[in-house]
Structure 1
Amino acid sequence: LIERTNTIITGSNLTQEQWKLLQAVISGTPVFRTKRSTSPYQGEVKQPQQTRASVLAQVRQRLSEFDIEQEHIAKSIPSGPQRIRGIAGSGKTVMLCQKAAHMHLKHPEWDIALVFFSRSLYHPIINQLDKWLRRFSSGEVRYDTQNLKLRVLHAWGAKRQPGLYSTLCQAAGVKRLTVRDTERKRPNEALAEVCFYLLQDTLLPQLYNAILIDEGQDLIVDNPLKFEGKQPFYWMAYQALRPVDLAQPEQRRLIWGYDEAQSLESLNIPNASELFGEELGHLVTGQYAGGIRKSETMHRCYRTPGAILTAAHGIGMGLLRRGGMLTGITRTQDWEAIGYEVTGCFVPGQQITLRRPKENSPNRVPELWEGAVLEFIAYRSRQEELTALADSIFYNLRYDGLKPSREILVIVLGLGLDAMGLETTVAEFLMSQGIDIYIPSAVDCNILQIDKDNRDPNKFWCEGGVTVSRIHRAKGNEAEMVYVVGLDQVAKDESNLQLRNQLFVALTRAKGWVKLSGVGSYGLYEEMWQVMQSGDTFTFTFRYPPQREISVTEAGEMRSRYESGGRNFQNADLAGAQLAGADLRNANLIGAILRGADLKKARLDGAKLAIADLSGADLSHASLRKAKLVGANLQEARLQGADLSWAKLGNADLRGAVLVGATLVGAKLSGADLGGVDLTGASLEKADLSEVN
């Protein structure tokens, strides 16, 4: 419509600055920033030439970066499930709140739930949702807890605060179970257990038109806890949704955002086959009408400075680890999808170079701050470590002008009782030095022991106090200055992926600076220093596949699913996919869209490709022995040197295809359209060419 509309008024071209301003306004960015309040600790002390507060003031004066791709994701409404993978700090929570607000304003009659796992996210999510409702409605609509059409729900729910699970129990007329009713101790596993029982015993009512899940990796459990091969919480949410189209009951608006690098419990990755079982593994492959992608990847990190993010990826995956990487991405296209440039191939013994361009980490703190944004110091004792911590926080408060709450965050690393003990030790020491502290869930500052009958599980910050938190409560929160204490807790068991992920999460809470510390001497410390010295570029030798491989692109995920036993890719949209050399023998690709795909030297023997769209695909030297290609579209496909022995190509459209040197021994081509096909040097012995066009 816009393209067809005649010009009403001819204007002059916008300047670069005007264009940026227009983009920012369209995206909902405030044009003018409010002045930042000062720290009450500053007083009349003479300020150093550069302070962290002065840097933050400069950062906040600049309009936020406009990301057209992020705008598209936030303001599009899919007609079925959608998966949103975003690296830490890419704006997943903001985007999901924008999407929920947009849905509600466009379809006020819909029942929508925005769901998350950590209760410390209640306040930030409600604030974000309210902000975008007001902005998108010009101030006419706010978030209203009494409006049940749009609900912010904790995954589980408590006595006085409903969650998705408790809401479904109430609607189904069954008793809501609590943690005390479960055998599992880990919160995510206990939740999965009660969801399992609900699914097993109850036919769930379809209450919602859309459910959006933030921090989706937190709701994943290991295989023994699955319900009929599906993730219990996700399958419960899926069952609670009304189908978008009754003719396609599997299409339901379950939208989940996640980053598997932030998984602190289960290391399973929340792709469709993991959540809904292999039979529905294709649900988020391809596009909906209007070009809305079923799977999105957000690769730009707005929160965390580039040097900190790359260090977090490097140490989290063990890229420079002496024994080789522990977890991570092993395909070039997948690294590119999260914002890195790759030199080299992921073949054992080959050298790989990864580089993250500045445009994919637009945080301005590193260019304004004269020092390092990431520091690491190893101390001889915990006393030394905590003394240095207190001194640094005093400096932040008195000279840097940072506020204690929301601008400074202390995160302690470790598992179980070790982490709990360190949290208390850190908080107690800071209090002894005259620094007010806050431990999440306490009702006020400076409370070390939280009374289970007098607590606020939704609370993460306390005005006037520096929050000291273990990693699980810190997830989803952020601060300008982050202190990460106790790296030795990770170093003692450096091959533990959950502990590495803790470190990744802790580092990526920072909006400006990180000071990392530990005690003693460990091999991990040397690795950490090497990672920091590498800056935005890592060079390492790829040795062997890691303990846990991560796939980002649809092609990469397809390969991973196949390698783990998955075969159902029916109707998958893989147009343009990079699948050269892929092993997809006996895969079900009926009706799949592989238009323009790179399938050079792929192994597709016995694959079911009936009515698949392979037009323009490169299948040169691919093996398609006994493949079923009945009715397939192979127009302009490149099949030179391909082996199609005994393949079934009845009624296939091969117009313009190149079959130079192809092997078609015993192939059934009855009814196929061979108009303009180049069969130079092809072997057609025993082939059925009856009724070909």
Structure 2
Amino acid sequence: MDEILPDIDRDLDVIFGEFRDHQVVQSFVQSVRDARFTGTLYIGYPVLTIDDDRIEFDAVLISRDHGVLIFDLYSFDGGVPGIPTQIPPKVVAKQEQLYAALFNKLNSFRELRRGRSLMVDLVTITVHPLVDTFVREDDALLIGLNRLGEIRLLEPADQLNDEQIRHLNAAVQRISNLKPQKKRDNVVRHNSKGAAIKEIEQQIANLDLWQKRGSIEYVNGPQRIRGLAGSGKTVVLALKAAYLHVKRPDWDIVVSFNTRSLYQQFEALITRFVFAQIGEEPDWTKLHVMHAWGGADRKGVYLEAANKIGCQYRDFGTAARLFGYETAFDGACKEVLTALGDRELELYDMILIDEAQDLPPSFFQVVYRMVKEPRRIVWAYDDLQNLGDFYMPSEAELFGYDAQSRPRVSLRNEVDHPQQDIVLPRCYRNPPWTLVTAHGIGFGVKRNPMVQMFPDPKLWLRLGYEIKGGSLAFDHDVIVDRNPKSIPDFFSRLLTPGDSLQTSRHTSAQEQYTWVAKKIKHLIDDEELQHSDFLVVMPNVRTSRSTGASVLAALRAEGLQGHIPGQTSSRDEVFREGSIAITHIHRAKGNEAPAVFVVDAQFCEGENEIKRRRNILFTAITRSRAWTYITGIGENMGEIEREIAEIRAANYQLAFHYPTREEVRQLAVSSDSAQDELPLGNDEFDDIRLALKKARQIPWDKLPPDLRRDLMDVYGQGA
């Protein structure tokens, strides 16, 4: 797991933003490596302003033994042939402009000031790509690529410490303005839960290695970001959208998602990030925050596509009646694809998609037609937050194949190139024991039979786990645990497993809701939490209206105010001051709270749709930033309690038998790996034969519309 926290005293971490010339950058990076520089090297980043001018940085290095180096890669003009002995005035002016812009940015952070000066000197360097030269004029430097190693090191007493490096990176990455909005003036006791969450919220918001890659690295084409719940995917996408909007203000960029409440979150984050760079509001005529579907009151990606080609728009109710409740959006997008034929829409320069696990492949194929070449599409997802009963398709399955049967999209990572496939392994939202429990319950590793499993065993390591025993391989016993490097240290200082993760089984639904209300009242009155710190999640969407009313009544009986987004308050506003949020799982997605109550958790165990139900429970648990309470009734709740108790007894390590390659196909969470190694077996053909035999016994007009449509898709109109 060294890749989570690179050794900046030995390694060079290169982050590739959007840059001008591939050959120039590759030569420069190789020269920096040859000179044995260490630290973090930003390429094409950041973008700042000075005197109302937009300043794009070619490269910036933050290093313990070199301090801050600003590189100008493109502006040198050597004039007459030969080795230059002077630096041209326009090159000096360029360096002064770069210096002033970054100085002003860093000087706005008190942590980076020492009296009236910065705690570190900024050095500006213009790199000559061809000539072996080293010229110093006052504070300006002109250096040939082969002589970068001659740049003077800082004296030992002046070298940067870990805290200074963190603050510098946070300032350059523009995420220091992610500090908490809540003041929490009600907190007076140092050992209350309110005090604990206040300290958690005040931790420095510094991007880790893979978050830096996800938010800054620019691939001139498709890019995938996979991450745990709470790993910062939404922040990463907002940062990337803001950065590219500032860097390329002429581009039409779309940010899309599945959960409506993310509208406000994305708009707020993007506004803050754009303002942090250039001191201006985003241009919302060029940067579009859109729901994946859209509706009468909001723009949407599907809605835009349907309107553009004159295809009839389907709202959810209509689509559900036509195509089935679970496949409503898939059917609507397939209609657009059919109407499109071979046409390309090419409406946008870039589309970024959050919550990709909840969107069907047909949506991605519509997006592919909407984005101009070179198809700048970025999608982020967490396999286990999939609220449907299906696995996350590979990039080839998502975007389909061309006329020559070649995948339209394929991803690969190469050294010293922008990463096309990024995993975010560090979880900043959930305590480690809560995350391990959520994975254990989501996969059903203590359940017989198991619910699901990654088709590539190594993905456990990439997501921040380590092997504690056995072998992480097909058909082997294994024990995994969170890697210490993937865990922020504040969790163990401020929280304990027994207090922050609890279950409660009840004899009736009403007894359960009363217990929840009394517990919330205690946490507000005695533990200094606030009303807006709570999220009550209902796993069963279809009964959420009646369940929500019962929970709301129980809260009112305790003198507490509550609201149900979409029923008693705006559907786009989940949290409000002075009121407890009660919502179903789909609206809870994309949100988080210090304390989460998962009510009626018994819904997440049973014979039918078990993968979908366990994904729902995983998603509900991982909404919590500190305290999680899982409640329910009946035998199914007893099974969930049993599994959690086994995980707790193992000290929050997961011990299980990894499925065989053949079993993985049925249990697969994602089809990114192993798919080519698992051909369809005879038993699976037998399943198809049995299903067709049953279908032949039912008249065509009696089959559900979505099933008729699927059969026609596979076998043609004459099916």
TM-score with structure 2 setting the length:
0.68
Which residue, 291, 300, 310 being the options, matches 2:436?
310
Higher strand share: 2
Which residue, 230, 241, 246 being the options, matches 1:89?
230
2:629 maps to: 515
Preserved contact between residue 21 and residue 31 of structure 1 (Cα < 8 Å): no
Residue aligned with 2:515, SS: helix
Deviations 1:418-462 (A, max 9, x none): x44322221222123221111112464xxxxxxxxxxx3322223
CA distance in 1, matches of 2:577, 2:372: 42
CA distance in 2, matches of 1:509, 1:385: 20
Q: Once the 2 structures are TM-superposed, how far is the Cα of residue 495 of structure 1 from its aligned partner?
A: 7.1
Q: Which amino acid aligns with 1:274?
A: E
Q: Which amino acid aligns with 1:207?
A: L
1:98 maps to: 239
Preserved contact between residue 243 and residue 274 of structure 2 (Cα < 8 Å): yes
1:435-514 equivalences under 5 Å are: 435-442=560-567, 444=569, 456-493=570-607, 496-514=610-628
Q: Which amino acid aligns with 1:201?
A: A
1:525 maps to: 641
CA distance in 1, matches of 2:550, 2:395: 42
CA distance in 2, matches of 1:81, 1:336: 24
Which residue, 31, 49, 55 being the options, matches 2:196?
55
CA distance in 1, matches of 2:213, 2:330: 33
1:121 maps to: 262
Task: Find out whether 1:216 has 2:356 as its counterpart.
Answer: yes
1:650 maps to: none
Task: Find out whether 1:142 has 2:142 as its counterpart.
Answer: no
1:561 maps to: 676
Which residue, 388, 391, 404 being the options, matches 1:268?
391
Q: Once the 2 structures are TM-superposed, how far is the Cα of residue 551 of structure 1 from its aligned partner?
A: 6.7
2:537 maps to: 411
| Residues 1:550 and 1:383: Cα distance change in structure 2 (over 3 Å) | same
Task: Find out whether 1:239 has 2:369 as its counterpart.
Answer: yes
Preserved contact between residue 79 and residue 288 of structure 1 (Cα < 8 Å): no
Q: Which amino acid aligns with 2:495?
A: W
2:176 maps to: 30
Q: Which amino acid aligns with 1:133?
A: V
CA distance in 2, matches of 1:363, 1:441: 37
Residue aligned with 2:332, SS: helix
Task: Find out whether 1:159 has 2:287 as its counterpart.
Answer: no
| Residues 1:558 and 1:308: Cα distance change in structure 2 (over 3 Å) | closer
CA distance in 1, matches of 2:177, 2:261: 30
| Residues 1:169 and 1:489: Cα distance change in structure 2 (over 3 Å) | closer
CA distance in 1, matches of 2:201, 2:573: 26
1 or 2 for the larger relative contact order (CA 8 Å, sep ≥6)?
Answer: 2
Task: Find out whether 1:541 has 2:681 as its counterpart.
Answer: no
CA distance in 2, matches of 1:519, 1:89: 28
Q: Which amino acid aligns with 1:243?
A: E
Which residue, 280, 288, 309 being the options, matches 1:172?
309
CA distance in 2, matches of 1:120, 1:35: 18
Preserved contact between residue 213 and residue 419 of structure 2 (Cα < 8 Å): no
Q: Which amino acid aligns with 2:576?
A: C
Q: Once the 2 structures are TM-superposed, how far is the Cα of residue 19 of structure 1 from its aligned partner?
A: 2.2
CA distance in 2, matches of 1:487, 1:363: 30
| Residues 1:331 and 1:205: Cα distance change in structure 2 (over 3 Å) | closer
Preserved contact between residue 101 and residue 133 of structure 1 (Cα < 8 Å): yes
Q: Answer with 189-198 or 207-216: which moved more.
A: 189-198
CA distance in 1, matches of 2:446, 2:539: 21
Task: Find out whether 1:334 has 2:459 as its counterpart.
Answer: yes
Which residue, 423, 429, 434 being the options, matches 2:548?
423
Deviations 1:137-179 (A, max 9, x none): 3x2x32343x2x1100011212232111222233334443333
Preserved contact between residue 217 and residue 269 of structure 1 (Cα < 8 Å): yes
Preserved contact between residue 384 and residue 669 of structure 2 (Cα < 8 Å): no
Q: Once the 2 structures are TM-superposed, how far is the Cα of residue 35 of structure 1 from its aligned partner?
A: 7.8
1:397 maps to: 524
| Residues 1:557 and 1:369: Cα distance change in structure 2 (over 3 Å) | closer
| Residues 1:262 and 1:207: Cα distance change in structure 2 (over 3 Å) | same
CA distance in 2, matches of 1:33, 1:233: 35
1:2-81 equivalences under 5 Å are: 3=32, 4=145, 5=148, 7=151, 10-11=154-155, 12-30=158-176, 33=179, 36-38=182-184, 50-81=191-222
| Residues 1:32 and 1:83: Cα distance change in structure 2 (over 3 Å) | closer
Q: Once the 2 structures are TM-superposed, how far is the Cα of residue 56 of structure 1 from its aligned partner?
A: 1.8
Q: Which amino acid aligns with 1:433?
A: E
Q: Once the 2 structures are TM-superposed, how far is the Cα of residue 347 of structure 1 from its aligned partner?
A: 6.4
Q: Which amino acid aligns with 1:166?
A: L
Q: Which amino acid aligns with 2:288?
A: R
Residue aligned with 1:327, SS: coil
Preserved contact between residue 168 and residue 204 of structure 1 (Cα < 8 Å): no
CA distance in 1, matches of 2:565, 2:644: 29
Q: Once the 2 structures are TM-superposed, how far is the Cα of residue 280 of structure 1 from its aligned partner?
A: 4.5
Residue aligned with 1:341, SS: strand
CA distance in 1, matches of 2:631, 2:185: 25
CA distance in 2, matches of 1:171, 1:185: 22
Deviations 1:93-152 (A, max 9, x none): 111111111111111111111111121211111111112112233x2x32343x2x1100
Structure 2 unmatched runs, 5+ = 1-27, 33-144, 682-719
Q: Which amino acid aligns with 2:245?
A: H
CA distance in 1, matches of 2:400, 2:265: 33
1:200 maps to: 338
Preserved contact between residue 455 and residue 665 of structure 2 (Cα < 8 Å): no
Preserved contact between residue 122 and residue 458 of structure 1 (Cα < 8 Å): yes
Q: Once the 2 structures are TM-superposed, how far is the Cα of residue 475 of structure 1 from its aligned partner?
A: 0.6
2:711 maps to: none
| Residues 1:130 and 1:542: Cα distance change in structure 2 (over 3 Å) | same
Q: Answer with 55-64 or 125-134: which moved more.
A: 55-64
1:590 maps to: none
| Residues 1:547 and 1:436: Cα distance change in structure 2 (over 3 Å) | farther
Q: Once the 2 structures are TM-superposed, how far is the Cα of residue 319 of structure 1 from its aligned partner?
A: 1.1
Number of aligned positions between the proteins: 523
CA distance in 2, matches of 1:348, 1:130: 46
Preserved contact between residue 346 and residue 352 of structure 1 (Cα < 8 Å): yes
Residue aligned with 2:478, SS: strand
Residue aligned with 1:242, SS: strand
Preserved contact between residue 504 and residue 630 of structure 2 (Cα < 8 Å): yes
Deviations 1:374-426 (A, max 9, x none): 11121222233222211111122112222212x11111223523x44322221
Higher helix share: 2
CA distance in 1, matches of 2:153, 2:641: 64
Q: Once the 2 structures are TM-superposed, how far is the Cα of residue 87 of structure 1 from its aligned partner?
A: 1.2
CA distance in 1, matches of 2:630, 2:317: 37
Structure 1 unmatched runs, 5+ = 221-230, 245-251, 445-455, 567-693
Q: Once the 2 structures are TM-superposed, how far is the Cα of residue 281 of structure 1 from its aligned partner?
A: 3.8
Deviations 1:340-379 (A, max 9, x none): 1123236677421111123213162342135521111212
Residue aligned with 2:565, SS: coil
Q: Once the 2 structures are TM-superposed, how far is the Cα of residue 59 of structure 1 from its aligned partner?
A: 2.0
1:355-394 equivalences under 5 Å are: 355-362=481-488, 364-369=490-495, 372-394=499-521
Residue aligned with 1:511, SS: strand
CA distance in 2, matches of 1:50, 1:421: 37
| Residues 1:195 and 1:295: Cα distance change in structure 2 (over 3 Å) | same
